[in-house]
Amino acid sequence: MAEVPQLLGLTRGEALRRLVAQGLRLEVDGEGSSARPKGQIIEQTPAPGTKLGVGQAVHVRLSSGGDDPTLGITKAPKLPERGKSVLRIPKLIPSPTHNFLTVSSGFTVTLDTEGLNTPRWLAVAADGARFVVESHVERKGIGPAPNRVSVLSGETKTVWADGLNLPFGIAFFKNYLYVANTDSVVRWPYRPGQTMADRPAETVLSGIPERGMRQHWTRNLLFALDGSKMYLTIGSKENAAIEEELRGTIVTYDLDSGGKPHGAPQILARGMRNPVGLALQPRTGKLWSVVNERDYLGDALVPDFLTEVKPGAHYGWPWYYLGSHHDPRLPHNPAIRGKVTVPEVLLTAHSAPLGLVFGRGGKWGFDAFVALHGSQNRSEFVGYSVVRVPFDERGRPIGPPRPFLSGWLKSPKNSNDVYGRPAGLAWARDGSLLVTDDWAGRIYRVR
């Protein structure tokens, strides 16, 4: 058996030499648009570290050196000059009715649950119970953060566990329920139908850089399809500053056979000011993330984004953004200058993307759905909605974000009033999409 080496960024000739030395073959499956120079490898299958028999092939795609015109994104996007920064804070008001939201044709939206306290993230159990992280939001007059996980089963709500430390990410894996606090990952054994933890949380990971600027305390987690690793997001401490190595990254931890992380964190990608939503694209199995970019450069800077998380990539923060664009508040960084990865899909600046899921076929397609929490650093409100990003059969985005679910904004231009702010997304067992509203304390269901 031979171990597949890392080939991303290599030329065809360099990759061939490495594979021949391992007794493996190289198969080139064509070219694709990429920020990498023409001829460099941008995709490989299987992943580095996979064991293959001698003589088997590793498939790669090469960079065409051009930019995909269907995305409306270029290698060095033309962006507006730095503008005046405006701090505009939303104000929650009661919604006129429970059916004030509008959704794309062919879908319906209904209220699933209300009366929650800052519901942020969701995980759905095998029996359909919704496990909800009730944590913290920046809003005056709501009292102390509940810092708990609650279970919604039918019309019944119970507290699974409380006393957590700014919990956010939540997932089921290997008969355990995992939750990411701001500084640790904990878990409990879980059996179908269980609605309350029957023992204290087991801490399986500690020492994570904690808290951060405003909402950057959020730590999201996701498990690889093959169960070999756990992905974890670590946001920045400040808006734009040179910080410790793990800040502004997505890291991975190897897992033992029982699902426990072990060893040091491995940085998968850097330069992501605040990565939040994580999801695996169903066509390709590749990891994607939404990222909240920096503030205080004006209404239109810097665009937030949705991107495939390419191993070893640097997305620029804090020195650069979208390739060669330099943040004037930081010195140049020769080590990454000219090497910054450009994300696939740009989202409106300051729209604050949080939740991310991919469709599972049918009328959902295999498209990406992104919850935009909404702006606070812009003269006119943007976001406060869920958008849909179309993907093709190859698992590639083929167009800009499209409106999907909206109505939380009373008046973007003339009022600070909002009816809520969408945050987390999850698929219910019946195939409907669940959407948390962390300001209004609700969960909506889209069918």
In whole angstroms, give the CA distance from residue 68 to residue 31: 11
pLDDT in tens, 176-229: 999 999 999 999 999 999 999 999 999 999 999 988 876 789 999 999 999 999
| Cβ(148)–Cβ(157) below 8 Å | no
pLDDT tens for each residue of the chain, 447 residues long: 888 898 888 999 999 999 999 999 999 977 764 445 788 887 677 777 778 998 899 988 787 654 333 333 334 566 777 888 888 999 999 998 878 999 999 999 999 999 999 999 999 999 999 999 999 887 777 778 999 999 999 889 999 999 999 999 999 999 999 999 999 999 999 999 999 999 999 999 999 998 887 678 999 999 999 999 999 999 999 999 999 999 999 999 999 999 999 999 999 999 999 999 999 999 999 999 999 999 999 999 999 999 999 999 999 999 999 988 999 999 999 999 999 999 999 999 999 999 999 999 999 999 999 999 999 989 999 999 999 999 998 999 998 999 999 999 988 777 899 999 999 999 999 999 999 999 999 999 999
Task: Please state, in angstroms and as integers, the Cα–Cα distance from residue 241 to each residue in 2, 249, 295, 389, following that order.
Answer: 42, 14, 12, 31
pLDDT above 90: percentage of residues in the chain: 76
Instruction: Report the distance separating Cα 29 and Cα 52, nearest Å.
Output: 19
Selection from 208, 377, 165, 211 nearest residue 292 by Cα: 377
Task: Provide the token pair at 92.
Answer: 């929650």
Give the three-state DSSP class for 406.
Answer: strand
Per-residue pLDDT tens over the stretch 99-148: 899 999 999 999 999 999 999 999 999 999 999 999 988 777 777 899 99
Longest dimension (CA), the chain: 68
Tell me the whole-structure pTM to 2 decimals: 0.83
How far is it, in rounded angstroms, from Cα 63 to Cα 35? 8
Sheet of 109-113, strand order: 109-113, 442-446, 433-437, 422-427
Residue-level pLDDT at 77 = 63
Q: Which helix (H) or strand (E) holds 18?
A: helix 12-21
* Dist. CA 176–CA 189, nearest whole Å: 4
Of 233, 227, 160, residue with least CA distance to 198 = 160
3-class secondary structure, 247: coil
CA distance 187 to 203: 7
- Please check whether residue 95 is in contact with residue 440, taking contact to mean a CB–CB distance below 8 angstroms: yes
